[in-house]
Amino acid sequence: MRKTLNEIAQDLKNNHKKVQLIYAFNGTGKTRLSREFKELVAPKSDTETEDTGLASKKIIYYNAFTEDLFYWDNDLTNDIEPKLIIQPNIFTKWIFEDQGQDGRIIENFQHYTDAKLTPHFNASYTIEDSGRERRIPAFTEVTFSYERGNDERSDNIKISKGEESCFVWSVFYSLLEQVVDVLNVPDASERETHQFDHLEYIFIDDPVSSLDDNHLIELAVNLAQLIKNSKSDLKFLITTHNPLFYNVLHNEFKKAAFKKYFLKKDEDGQYNLESQSNDAPFSYHLFLKAEIEKAIKTGQVQKYHFNFLRNILEKTSTFLGYENWGEILPKTADGKTDPYESRIINISSHSKHSAEEIVQLTENDKRVLAFLLKEIKKNHKFHNWEGDI
């Protein structure tokens, strides 16, 4: 049944399973769904501020907005000391200052990235700002170094976007470990803190998908184990666009306490939340192909369909042993790849919110998409390519 995101969120709230796992393609609206769900569980009042503290929270969520709490000060003046700035918020204040979990965060971060890549948190200090002293609170700045051993160290490392996402997840995961541990004490009066007494939901939207497959599997297994160790009434909702992550989580949870879905978005902005009965409810690249074909036939081509095509190209090139997906694009008469075709795919698929932008595609863009899909299906012998678009 086709519904709005708000209605989908209400359905999820009405379900009393301990874990609900949702697969959806990028751009479908997973992050907006987490916001809709949060507003249903704990609508923000006009008087609510960060000072209300963790104790009032009914839901904690990890999504794109979580990562927005962290941003880079690239030291544009001197270009010598880039810092990852943590915006003031009750979650990091509690995990760093109240619980002293900075060591655990470093441990989690290094486990999934590199044991020699080390975060350093600032102590409190003051600076002169417009003639006045301004205090910089502790644990609001992070610098990174690369420790090589034998006292060799490279300071002021600007980590990659994937490593940054992994760092943010490490902060959240350390908080999650604390939440589960505290709420596992059944008698609230005996808990070490009452910060989570009102907590009902954890909503996790696409944790670090930039990890390699081995680390992604390990992260999924560790997350599943932590959830299974949760003995309280806390409920978990997890959304992902990564088929491998979905597959691992599916096989980790018991069916009795677990519900899984496939969230789809129609052309008119309505949604379908389809129940899934197994760990592989779709053939990913074939589904993407079908979605592109449907968009071309109905004249509903959007920018994110180029993202779908790039995904097909990446998976096909990996399977066939090519180093670069551009090598399997159609060739011109001189045996070279048309640079325009690879450029249009790159430009159209490299946007964080490519599926949510209002983008005016030219008729030539749409023609290129249809041509490339047809040639790829023909050249690599996708089933039943003849007669399709």
Q: Does the pLDDT at position 116 exceed 50?
A: yes
**Mean pLDDT (whole number) for 356-381:** 77
What the block records as the tokens of 184 is 């596992």
- Is the pLDDT at 52 greater than 80? The verdict is no
* Inter-residue contact 133 to 127 (CB < 8 Å): yes
Two tokens at 300?
A: 């509903």
> What b/e readout covers 223-239, taking b as 16+ CB neighbours within 10 angstroms?
bbebbeebebebbbbbb
User: What per-residue confidence (pLDDT) applies to 77?
Assistant: 65
Please, which residues have CB within 8 angstroms of residue 222's CB and are 6 or more apart in sequence?
none
Question: Rg of the Cα trace of the chain?
Answer: 23
pTM exceeding the 0.75 threshold for the entire prediction = no
Beta strands per DSSP E along 150-200: 152-154
| CB-side neighbour CA atoms (13 Å) of 383 | 4
Using a pLDDT cut of 90, give the percent of the chain over it: 38
Rounded to whole angstroms, the Cα distance separating 85 from 83 reads 6
- Residue 63, pLDDT > 50, answer yes
| Per-residue pLDDT reduced to its tens digit, 286-317 | 777 888 888 888 888 888 888 888 888 887 88
CA distances from 99 to 177, 309, 326 (A): 12, 46, 49
d(CA 216, CA 296): 34
Q: How far apart are CA 6 and CA 4, in angstroms?
A: 5
Better pLDDT: 32 or 387: 32
pLDDT digits (tens, 9 = 90+) for 74-91: 866 666 688 999 998 888
What mean pLDDT comes out for the span 124-139? 90
What share of the chain has pLDDT > 70, as a percent? Answer: 87
Answer yes or no: are the C-beta atoms of 53 and 63 closer than 8 Å: no
The pair of three-digit structure tokens given for residue 51, joined into one six-digit string: 């000072």
Model pLDDT, residue 46 = 44
* Average pLDDT over all residues of the chain: 83
Q: What is the largest CA-CA distance in the chain?
A: 77
Query: Which tens digit of pLDDT belongs to each residue from 237-257?
Result: 999 988 888 888 988 887 767
Number of Cβ atoms within 10 Å of the Cβ of 184: 13
- pLDDT attached to residue 279: 58
Residue 349's pLDDT band, with cuts at 50, 70 and 90, is low
Cα–Cα nearest to 30, from 241, 216, 309, 242: 241
Side-chain-side CA neighbours of residue 284 (13 Å): 21
Contacts of 333 (CB under 8 A, 6+ apart): none
> 198: pLDDT confidence band, cut at 50, 70 and 90?
very high
Residue 359: its pLDDT value, please? 52
The better pLDDT of the pair 292, 180 is held by: 180
Q: Which residue in the block uniquely carries the two structure tokens 């197994």?
A: 278
What pLDDT score does 340 carry? 66
